[in-house]
Amino acid sequence: MTVRVTLSAPDGIGEVGAGDDLAALVLAHCDLADGDVVIVTGKVVSKAEGRLRAGDRTASLPGETVRVVARRGPTVIVRNHLGLTMAAAGIDASNVAVGHHLLLPEDPDRSARRIREQVALRAGHNVAVLVTDTAGRAWRTGQTDICIGAAGLRVTEDLAGLTDPHGNPLVVTAPAVADEIAGAAELATGKLGGRPLSVLRGRPDLVLPAGEAGPGAAALVRGEGEDLFGLGAREAVVQALAGGAGHVFGAPAAAEDLAAALDRVLPGALLPSDGSDLRLQVTGPEAESRTALRMLAHAFGWLVSEDPRSADGAATLRLRPSTP
Amino acid sequence: MTVRVTLSAPDGIGEVGAGDDLAALVLAHCDLADGDVVIVTGKVVSKAEGRLRAGDRTASLPGETVRVVARRGPTVIVRNHLGLTMAAAGIDASNVAVGHHLLLPEDPDRSARRIREQVALRAGHNVAVLVTDTAGRAWRTGQTDICIGAAGLRVTEDLAGLTDPHGNPLVVTAPAVADEIAGAAELATGKLGGRPLSVLRGRPDLVLPAGEAGPGAAALVRGEGEDLFGLGAREAVVQALAGGAGHVFGAPAAAEDLAAALDRVLPGALLPSDGSDLRLQVTGPEAESRTALRMLAHAFGWLVSEDPRSADGAATLRLRPSTP
């Protein structure tokens, strides 16, 4: 049987302002059925929730920033309060009155839940609701729409433990369907057509039973320290040199990962292990080796200590994971 | 007018093997019209092109790898010959006979062009063709399908220079519609249903005139050194310490970016500038400062030189961009 998925984006929505009732807007413009997914751009959610601010967006950037992830020239990529890693924290200066900017919704999962609840209450439809925003990404040019808020939706399909028809365990364990839906919706809404709403039909299996909010878009965010790319490449070097905030590099590395790094940076320095620690003997200009070691320890989540000097004066250093 | 985009994924395709005619498969199973986009999973393209290999996929990894981007425990993320940054270089061990693995198509843009040409030749339809694969991403959990090959498709919508209805220049300049289509197709094909083909209808504006291949998926790949995340955070530290391959950090940084980094790592060391170079006076343990400086210079694409020592013996170092 052919699987068919449809995205419909009505126009004629008009400009949305602070206090507008988004559920009413959805019900007025979208033809809904149980099992549909309603996609709303974060922009109109922000507008309805009064997140418009006067002035240049750089004024709002510090308040929206948890930490800077990378910076190059005028581009600042930060991790914001929602855990999203975005240029300018996701603050938007397009499709708003000139001289203004728009903050992201304060809690887009809550925004999605409210719309879902109101649609159920007023029209009796069990639909999922998804709030989107546009984001750049590592490694690839251009931007795609992603899911920043969700209610009543399985945001990922959990395939862990399943096998393919050949009996292989599935390597891809969690298609991020919420992000795929957000991107699909952008194909129907576009950026310029004044179509902030769309409806996906054909995947009712992704919609949770009435009353269940589900994990929300928060489940799509990697936790701080769980990401191999929590810092831009240059920022990682600066962070390792400056010390502090070691947690952004993640949990202590496996001994073999740190050993491989040491082998590249201080070849020949590693001594045979006498347990779970790593031991090494400093060669070359000592202060330089120690700086290197301190940085690697910081980035890899290990601690350095020094053994008493041996009879011939050589320093043996010992590394152990910073938490047990 | 409501914009409507439809994805249809037929089943009953059966197993694809080396030498199979994919254009024939598409024409036999898909109901096509001019302006459609035909989406084919990379997996069946690989199978048809004889890219199945016996043995464990780690055996093929070195040959597919251009360089390691990040590593943590058993996870190795590499940049491959196509410029794609993927776990295990995109080598796949699911949905193949046990004890085998599948390399990516050698040139997925070429694969897409062939299918497009054959569909035009045999049935007279002007369709775009898109080849997909499943990939993880920075910052977000789960995987989405992305475009790794394309023919006859505008892979990004170029909005640069356009303004919104309020007169603001558009900040999002290039929606990566090819990746959004790839993700949308996954919603119809799924991972387990034996549906490797799908058709998107409703965006004929993205399909190029007959005979035009367009930029292909290669245009979606950021060039080496153009990415702020070309290395994992830990790998960046190792690379800066180990030296070499400075190009993966990108072109020389702007002076103010390097100055900001120096200010964090060696506070107070920067001297007033006497031109386009940066000058600084080393304080603290000298060898340690020099290591820090060497690493920053490497990561930021600058070179270090030393001025003759002043009368009081202080060392003044000078930094300049490594290329003019």
Residues A233 and B229 sit within 8 Å (Cβ to Cβ): yes
Chain B segment 248-267 residues within 8 A of A by beta carbon are: 248-250, 253-254, 257, 260-261, 264-265
- Interface touch B227/A188, C-beta < 8 Å: no
* Span A265-307, pLDDT tens digits: 888 888 887 777 898 887 666 777 888 888 999 999 999 887 7
Interface size A-B, in CB pairs within 8 Å, comes to 366
Average pLDDT of span B250-258: 91
Which H helix or E strand runs over A194?
A: none
One-letter amino acid at A51 equals R
CATH superfamily of A6-51+105-220: CofE-like (3.30.1330.100)
* Span B106-115, pLDDT tens digits: 999 999 999 9
One-letter amino acid at A243 equals G
In this prediction, residue B218 carries a pLDDT of 97
In this prediction, residue B35 carries a pLDDT of 98
In this prediction, residue A232 carries a pLDDT of 96
**Which candidate in A82, A201, A229 is best for mutational testing of the B interface (most B CBs within 10 A)?**
A229
In this prediction, residue B323 carries a pLDDT of 75
In this prediction, residue B311 carries a pLDDT of 56
Work out the percent of chain A whose per-residue pLDDT is above 90.
71
Lowest mean pLDDT among A54-63, B5-14, B167-176, B199-208: B167-176
**Closest to A291 (Cβ–Cβ): which among B9, B166, B291?**
B291
Looking at the complex, does the CB of residue A321 fall below 8 Å from at least one CB of chain B?
no
Whole-number Cα distances in Å, B138 to B148, B156, B181? 18, 21, 20
- Interface touch A241/B4, C-beta < 8 Å: no
**pLDDT(A42) > 60:** yes
Average pLDDT of span A105-128: 98
pLDDT band at A315; cut points 50, 70, 90:
confident
Instruction: For Cα atoms B146, B152, B154, give the angle at the middle one, nearest 5 degrees.
Output: 60
* Span B6-51, pLDDT tens digits: 999 999 999 999 999 999 999 999 999 999 999 999 999 999 999 9
pLDDT band at A323; cut points 50, 70, 90:
confident
Contacts of residue A169 in chain B, CB cutoff 8 Å? 94
Token output for B150: 């394309």
Residues B202 and B150 sit within 8 Å (Cβ to Cβ): no
In this prediction, residue B238 carries a pLDDT of 94
Instruction: For Cα atoms B299, B139, A264, give the angle at the middle one, nearest 5 degrees.
Output: 40
**Which candidate in B144, B177, B295 is best for mutational testing of the A interface (most A CBs within 10 A)?**
B144
**Closest to A142 (Cβ–Cβ): which among B175, B265, B286?**
B175
**pLDDT(B169) > 90:** no
Chain B segment 59-88 residues within 8 A of A by beta carbon are: 70-73, 75, 77, 84-85
Work out the percent of chain B whose per-residue pLDDT is above 70.
95
Looking at the complex, does the CB of residue A127 fall below 8 Å from at least one CB of chain B?
no
Where are the domains positioned within chain A?
6-51+105-220, 233-321
Q: What are the DSSP E strand ranges found in chain A?
A: 3-9, 37-41, 52-54, 65-72, 75-80, 85-87, 100-102, 128-136, 143-151, 197-201, 270-271, 278-281, 302-306, 316-321
Average pLDDT of span A197-216: 97
Average pLDDT of span A48-64: 95
- Interface touch A180/B187, C-beta < 8 Å: yes
